[in-house]
Copies of this chain bind each other. A is one copy, B any other.
Amino acid sequence: MLYQQIDMELAEREAWALRRQKGIPNNRRLFVLACMDERLPVEEALGIRLGDAHVYRNAGGLVTDDVIRSAMLTTNFFGTKEIIVVNHTECGMMTATGEFLTNALREKGIDPDSVAIDPALPELKLPPGVFPKWIRMFSDVDEICLKQVELLRNCPLIPADVQIHGYVWEVESMRLRRPGVRLAEKVNTAKAMGAKG
């Protein structure tokens, strides 16, 4: 009977729309931490689809208190069992130092030491002089990727059995790599290729 087919489809739709209150996790039980860069197609890069993952993105793809908050929620309360970090080459976070940017803001008339860094949570304050560090500029994408994985693995707010790995997205080749494994450095010269003789 047709009504039975329809009822099954309606049940699926309801399970989709009421996932959180029914306690259904995302399809891959996955949390992604990635940079907000416009050249990083997160789903395509990882080979995932709508429904598969909670995708956190910020400037740099860096561990912050907001990342910890979001990862704590999904791993403790929404069934997530795996975390993947994706940083990328030519990140805007490598274009200047925190001090340089802080000075630039000062020149615009902003006082970094008195400005509210979180307008929704005034209780969250930075000690004087920490503002440049808070911007979290970095200098090496492979190192920073390994560092984020380490930070998450050691965080007590994330259950110890969550699997955590990191990758680097190359905007120059639009492909993924393991941190530190730069194919482009092994292909241009005989020396890099380990020529014989």
Interface residues of A (CB under 8 A from B): 1-3, 5-7, 9-10, 13-14, 16-21, 26-28, 30-31, 36-39, 41, 46-48, 50-59, 62-70, 72-74, 76-78, 81-82, 84, 89-92, 94-97, 99-101, 103-105, 108, 110, 115-121, 123-124, 126-127, 130, 133-142, 147, 151, 154-157, 163, 165, 167, 170-178, 181-191, 193-197
Contacts and interface: CB of A to CB of B under 8 A. Distances in A.
Copies per assembly: 8
Which of A2, A82, A137 has the largest number of chain B CB atoms within 10 A?
Answer: A2
B65 A95 contact: no
A108 B65 CA distance: 20
26 contacts: A2-B84, A3-B163, A5-B47, A10-B181, A18-B90, A18-B183, A20-B90, A36-B55, A38-B50, A58-B66, A63-B119, A73-B92, A73-B101, A77-B92, A94-B195, A95-B196, A96-B197, A99-B197, A115-B156, A119-B155, A120-B136, A137-B195, A139-B195, A140-B189, A170-B184, A182-B188
